[in-house]
Structure 1
Amino acid sequence: MKKLKIDLNDEDYMGSHEASTMWGKQKDYVRTIYNKYPKRFPEGTIRKFGKQLIVTREGMETVTGIKKSQLAEIKRNKAKHAAEK
């Protein structure tokens, strides 16, 4: 088995709260989905370290169906719709 080298400075790895809010979800979204439906996350995209869940960009994109590259546009559209009200 080949060992993976992980760069913890890589922005594709994030804590569950950070990932949840980045994707516009409640801060406990990742933890809730992981506890109820752990198989939704592809193998190797989420891991628990003590009490902390670390998730990858790929895991979040798979679970939410939203690419990280789309997040800025989605936030702009939400802000635009909020301003129109």
Structure 2
Amino acid sequence: MVRINLDNVNIMDARQAAEIWGLSEGYVRKRINQAPQKFPKGSIRKFGKQWVITTEGMEAITGKTDPRKIARKKKAEEAEK
């Protein structure tokens, strides 16, 4: 049995993902419904009515790096100064 750490920040629901990337929740759901093949294998899953998506999945469909990674990198660079 595969164990998944649901406390991992790289696993989020569609609403959280949309908020992090500055998109509408509808965008995420629409992309899942229209082009599920564009998501890397294992990066999306539906639990009941709730879609769960990984950071990898969001980066794949948006073409943008996780904004949290960019913020952490910027913060680390500022700390080095």
Once the two structures are aligned, what percentage of the paired residues are identical?
42
Deviation of the 1:25 alpha carbon:
0.6
In the alignment of these two chains, the number of paired residues is 70
The one of 25, 39, 42 equivalent to 1:41 is 39
Q: Please tell me the root mean square deviation across aligned C-alpha atoms, in Å.
A: 1.5
Q: Which amino acid aligns with 1:13?
A: I
TM-score (norm 2): 0.79
Residue deviations 1:53-81, cap 9 Å, x none?
000000001111111123x4xxxxxxxxx
Gaps of 5+ in 1: 73-85
In the alignment, the residues of structure 2 paired with residue 55 and residue 6 of structure 1 have an alpha-carbon distance, to the nearest angstrom, of 13
In the alignment, what sits opposite 1:50? 48
In the alignment, the residues of structure 2 paired with residue 4 and residue 59 of structure 1 have an alpha-carbon distance, to the nearest angstrom, of 19
Structure 1 runs (4+) greater than 2 angstroms displaced? none
In the alignment, what sits opposite 2:10? 12
TM-score (norm 1): 0.75
The 3-state SS of whatever aligns with 1:28 is: helix
Deviation of the 1:4 alpha carbon:
2.8
